[in-house]
Structure 1
Amino acid sequence: MAAAVLEKLLPDLEVVEAEAGWDCFTRHGSAVPERTLESLLECGAGLFGAVSSPAGRVEGYRSAILTLRQKAGLYVNVRPVRSWPQVSPRPDVDLVVVRENSEGLYVGIERLDATGIAIAECHVSRAASERLAAKARAIAELRQSRRITIVHKANVLPLTGGLFRDSVRDVLINSGFGALVDERLVDVAALDLVAGPERFDVIVTSNLFGDILSDLASHWCGGLGMAPSLNWGDGVALAEPVHGSAPDIAGTGQANPIAAILSVALLLRYHWRKPELAERVERAVEAVLSELPLDGLGSRTTTELERAILEHL
């Protein structure tokens, strides 16, 4: 669906399909075959579909999207949340969560010690925090932001949380953004996202906190079916709808394609630097949502939504 939007906007685009995910692991013993990683790096951009993962630990399995983020150097995750006609419960929300994408607890290093205690390592480096801040600065410039909020838990985790906060803050202040920078403890940020999401513009935070806060904030854009994201590195990017897979409705026409389509807009805006095309996609989505009947998205099939968006393009 999202690929069709790209092909309409960029008629010379070549689309290369590649395998990843749990089904791929069961067939080939790898959630991300080497050829898939090579294809992404050769193309320089990709669109990640919703894939399933096992609920528990499976020997040899590693999440496909985490593997791609780390091996392809996709060190930032961009997750915007904005109000949309008819599907959003609040009219004036327009924020973006800029999430560190390569470190934190998501490095996936866990062990069980001799006493039966399960231990997970949390990695935070100045280099990764600074390159995140540089991307956040670029996004803030494009958005002409009024505020950049650093979210952390340095009061409880002074080494990891403190290093993250200080590294990000130093980059932003040294870049001339000092007057725009504030900070929140993650629990306070969660409350503020529920009580007053309009207060936020750009949120810069760590891997785990960014994952949770962006899902929480997606309530204001109409839920996870409306929530896009972009995994972004240097010279390579992977658009990814935030929602997971829904095998129970596969083939029924009930899946909402808008998160994937809006993820394409992020690819256009930030990676390919084609903001005018990104705006065309977003305007088309807005127009289709404005035309929905009173019963909302539930009355439109996946194909009908896709066709309507393509027509507005």
Structure 2
Amino acid sequence: MIYHEPRAMARDEVNPTLSAPIEDVVNSIAKNKICMKGILATPDFSHTGELQTLNMKLRNALDLYANVVHVKSLPNVKCRHTGVDCIIIREQTEGEYSALEHEGVPGVVECLKIVTAAKSERIAKFAFDYAVKMGRKKVTAVHKANIMKLGDGLFLRSCEEIAKLYPRIQFEKMIVDNCTMQMVSDPSQFDVMVTPNLYGNIVDNLASGLVGGAGVVAGASYSSQCVVFEQGARHIFSGAVGKNIANPVATLLCSANLLAHVNLPVYSKMIKNAISKVLKDGKVRTKDLGGQSTTKDFTYAVIHCLT
């Protein structure tokens, strides 16, 4: 669902599909407990003082505090590294995404980064619980506490305190700039990663690039009451609108994950097996994977392989 405030749009802008006010979307998700969505495009309303994007409003209204992206190598998708298999867990209700900015004097902008012990501990516990549930062995806290000693320092200390409750899970900490270098050099060293908001957004997209790009990675955002299944890489790809060229793999994987979440694992596995078969065959590939097939071509190929 995409919602936008009414305004005149330039000729070269993409006119988003009107559905319902964001409040109605929030109420629907809260009622049904699950949702599947794409990445929302938000017009620039900064001149009006509105700094929150639609995605931010949705997360804050539903308290979707934990974003989970499982980055895994896919069959027959050629990349620099093979065997990538890591889970990135991002706190996404505070940090730099507070939308608290102002221009005190012309040419000087102040932005507030919000870090709280309660939310830092909550995302750390979510990450360790997720690691236990998924049979993972290590959790890496990604931070910049060497520079942001108070804000990121609080996040890191929270992770360290929670780690003491899980003695069977190995815990390590890594500065974010080193983390990005290590990921492109040797992603196999990572298992579960827990990050503040901004770093998680960056690491999600970087990791997606390691396994084939934004079109092949699924994600999900969790609150204590509901879950929203969405693409793992935050890229709206507005240039593909109406052209039938986008890679549907990420969205199809989201649908499979949703089915597993509602206790329909057989159907979830059917979709994932069909995707794997199409990728292994290599005959139908979208442009981002080096082929010339359309979105519909790939989707029909997956449907044909459903068994």
Same fold (TM over 0.5): yes
1:31–1:63 CA contact under 8 A, matched in 2: no
Aligned length: 291
Please point out which of 184, 200, 205 is paired with 1:215.
Answer: 205
1:239–1:267 CA contact under 8 A, matched in 2: yes
What residue identity is the alignment partner of 2:144?
Answer: K
What residue identity is the alignment partner of 2:271?
Answer: V
Q: Are residues 1:129 and 2:120 paired?
A: yes
Q: Are residues 1:114 and 2:105 paired?
A: yes
Please show how residues 127-166 of structure 1 align to structure 2 within 5 Å: 127-166=118-157
1:83 alignment partner in structure 2: 73
2:245–2:295 CA contact under 8 A, matched in 1: yes
1:288 alignment partner in structure 2: 278
Q: CA deviation at 1:205?
A: 0.6
Q: CA deviation at 1:70?
A: 0.8
1:51–1:245 CA contact under 8 A, matched in 2: yes
Gaps of 5+ in 1: 1-18
1:26 alignment partner in structure 2: 6
Alignment partners' CA distance in 2, 1:295 and 1:282: 16
Deviates more, 1:137-146 or 1:123-132: 137-146
2:235 alignment partner in structure 1: 244
Q: CA deviation at 1:168?
A: 1.7
Q: Are residues 1:38 and 2:22 paired?
A: no
1:47 alignment partner in structure 2: 36
Q: CA deviation at 1:170?
A: 1.4
What residue identity is the alignment partner of 1:201?
Answer: D
Q: CA RMSD in A?
A: 2.5
1:30–1:61 CA contact under 8 A, matched in 2: no
- The C-alpha deviation readout for 1:88-117, integer Å capped at 9, x for no partner, is 412210001100010101011101113642
Please point out which of 40, 56, 62 is paired with 2:52.
Answer: 62
TM-score if structure 1 supplies the norm length? 0.84
1:190–1:213 CA contact under 8 A, matched in 2: yes
1:9 alignment partner in structure 2: none
2:12 alignment partner in structure 1: none
Structure 1 169/311 Cα, relative in aligned 2: closer, same or farther at 3 Å?
farther
Structure 1 137/282 Cα, relative in aligned 2: closer, same or farther at 3 Å?
farther
Please show how residues 255-270 of structure 1 align to structure 2 within 5 Å: 255-269=246-260
**Structure 2 counterpart SS, 1:283:** helix
1:25–1:61 CA contact under 8 A, matched in 2: no
1:107–1:121 CA contact under 8 A, matched in 2: yes
**Structure 2 counterpart SS, 1:135:** helix
1:32–1:64 CA contact under 8 A, matched in 2: no
Alignment partners' CA distance in 1, 2:51 and 2:180: 32
2:13 alignment partner in structure 1: none
Gaps of 5+ in 2: 8-16
Please point out which of 156, 160, 174 is paired with 1:169.
Answer: 160
Deviates more, 1:151-160 or 1:281-290: 281-290
1:95–1:200 CA contact under 8 A, matched in 2: yes
1:102–1:207 CA contact under 8 A, matched in 2: yes
What residue identity is the alignment partner of 1:45?
Answer: I
Alignment partners' CA distance in 2, 1:52 and 1:67: 13
TM-score if structure 2 supplies the norm length? 0.86
- The C-alpha deviation readout for 1:211-262, integer Å capped at 9, x for no partner, is 0011011112200111221111112111111343334332222111111122
Q: CA deviation at 1:156?
A: 0.6
Deviates more, 1:137-146 or 1:229-238: 137-146
Q: Relative to total residues, which structure has the larger helix share, 1 or 2?
A: 1
Structure 1 194/307 Cα, relative in aligned 2: closer, same or farther at 3 Å?
same
**Structure 1 counterpart SS, 2:69:** strand
Q: Taking every aligned residue pair, what percent have the same amino acid on both sides?
A: 29
Structure 1 173/38 Cα, relative in aligned 2: closer, same or farther at 3 Å?
same
Please point out which of 299, 304, 307 is paired with 2:300.
Answer: 307
Alignment partners' CA distance in 2, 1:129 and 1:273: 30
**Structure 1 counterpart SS, 2:82:** coil
Q: Are residues 1:189 and 2:179 paired?
A: yes
Q: CA deviation at 1:133?
A: 1.6
Q: CA deviation at 1:30?
A: 11
